[in-house]
Amino acid sequence: MTKKDRVAIVTGGSRGIGRAISERLAADGQTVVIAYASNAVEANKTVQSIVKNGGKAIAIKTDISDEVAVSKLFDIAEKNFGGVDVVVNSAGIMGLNTIANFDLNKLDQIIRTNIRGTFVIDQQAARRVRSGGAIINLSTSVKKLALPTYAAYSASKGAVDAISLVLAKELRGRDITVNAVAPGPTATELFFEGKDEETIDRMAKMNPIERLGKPEDIAEVVSFLAGPGRWINGQTIYVNGGMV
């Protein structure tokens, strides 16, 4: 099976890093099923961009923490395109504050989306991805920095790493790879939100290349893992320009 035969589900695929991943996999020849949480306008823009460039894509509104909704997402992919070969879970939310002052309701939301959502997506992926496929979960490089205010987000992504590495071993004999990709600071709306220019400039210079990552930088690594990168399995890959 070549890339052109493969079908990919990308959660959070309508904006930011997720959109870049969706567009890159489509450019590789994969059919892309984009799962989005609420923004139908952006999801449809992504689909239109892919189709305009000769690719195939559809968008499905999905709550990734809801096992019934996720099962339906996979049903739709299988019904329309015959199966699922690649699952990229890039959906996630962030909340920043000190541990002492963190809103526990926000903590519950982060846990539900980032941890439960990853678990639910991976559960269906483990049951349905075809032999020769790949499961890729988005983590974060910020775990290694121990930055103040990032405790909740970092903890949730630490769980993503753990789920990914365990699943890789659980799928022994299936010829399915499972990896986590951990971006560094990347130029997306989510990253810029609430940050002043000084903070953005400081974080951009934390890596020796001295720039922010671009969504396309992350998509390039995901493309490799989703296609030819068959001998990389059970790893967390840090994509951050050498920041840590």
CA distance from start to end of the chain: 36
* Length of the chain in terms of residues written: 244
Quick check: 117 and 64 in contact, CB under 8 A?
yes
Catalytic residue among 36, 150, 153, 238: 153
Quick check: 88 and 164 in contact, CB under 8 A?
no
List strand residue ranges (DSSP E) for the chain, in order. 7-11, 31-36, 57-61, 84-89, 129-138, 177-183, 236-239
> Is 150 in the active site?
no
CA 155, 148, 243, 221 dihedral sign is positive
Element (DSSP H or E) covering residue 55: none
CA 90, 210, 27, 180 dihedral sign is negative
Q: What residues are annotated to the active site? A: 153
